[in-house]
Amino acid sequence: MRAKRILPVALGIAAAALILPSYASAAYGWPIKPFDRQHPVRGQLNDPRMNGASVDTSTSFTFHSGVDIATPDGTPVYAVAAGRVHYLDPTAIAVRRPQVPVVFEYWHIVPVVNNKSFVKRHTLLGYVEMGRGHVHFAQKENNTYVNPLRRGGLTPYIDHTLPTIKAITYFDNAGVNHDLGNAVVSGDIRIVVDAYDTPELKSNWPLAVVTPAWVGWQLIDASGRIVEHKHRDFSHKLYRESAADIFAPGTFKNAMKRGSFIVGNYNYWLGPERNTTRVQGGAYRLVVTVADVRDNETTKTVSFTVANTAGGTTISPLRSSASH
């Protein structure tokens, strides 16, 4: 049975699109040839980005601002729309559309156009930098990054693959991670879902995974009452919350290390720490749904028991010990 959601994914994404100006929906082709054919994407908006091997070892931790289109080094990169060229650094340029606050960014290229020059749609901008194997493509509207893969953006884009929920776990008060399914919880815990989406087309990193575009959850008590119902929508804009408040320990990005590929892992906090001493003990169900930007979704349900022991302090996912 599908989890009841605050908004259906499709409705939520459509609603987000409606709040943007009309020019935001102007579809455009791909920045590499053929322009009217879908190309492999090995990184998406709001994927985790960090300066270390994982969130646990990194000092800088942010969200990915665009999409990584996989293509061989040296591939020609073209403007998806006309505009004025602005150099961002020696291997990155932005093209500002005339009269509207829309900017397209092209990173990891060797530019062949002059700074401040005006280019037409499909003008050659440069070539993919050696050793990169992709062009990072991003779109800004009113100085905010938006998802190129949203409906009405980069076209064509088709995705039939279902997201995957690998596990639903919790950290106890000692910082040890446990499977939540059939667990008896007490002490300080915080719940995590380990989930990812598989790109439609295989890239030069064929094992690469990306983050889901939507993560929602609801908690249901033994009587069937929904005691919590929340979601996070990563589908349309660059996420504004701290990445450390979203991604749990064990999160790391796709990467090549010493010639070997490391498959990314994405662990999402499902809310903050919560206190079971404030709720009735007993049986509960947690229903988690993840979806991609084309509304393919996967749902997983786990059951667990809240055990409030006499005189003991217990924390459960049912009521926050901090605001959320």
Over residues 150-171, the mean pLDDT reads 97
pLDDT tens for residues 98-110?
Answer: 989 999 999 999 9
CA angle 47, 243, 17 (to 5 degrees): 60
Give CATH 2.70.70.10 domain extents, the chain. Answer: 20-146
Q: What is the largest CA-CA distance in the chain?
A: 73
Domain 20-146 in this protein, CATH class: mainly beta
Note whether 243 and 266 are within 8 A (CB): no
| Count of residues making up the chain | 324
pLDDT(264) > 90: yes
pTM of the model: 0.88
Q: How confident is residue 277, by pLDDT bands cut at 50, 70 and 90?
A: low
Q: Are strands 67-70 and 41-43 parallel, antiparallel or unpaired?
A: antiparallel
Who contacts 323 (Cβ-Cβ below 8 Å, separation ≥6)? none
Smallest CA-to-CA distance from 54 within 263, 257, 261, 251 is with 251
Tell me the C-alpha distance between 283 and 304, whole Å: 6
pLDDT tens for residues 41-62?
Answer: 999 999 999 888 889 888 888 9
Give CATH 2.60.40.2550 domain extents, the chain. Answer: 164-306
Q: How confident is residue 320, by pLDDT bands cut at 50, 70 and 90?
A: very low
State the CATH architecture for 164-306.
Sandwich (2.60)
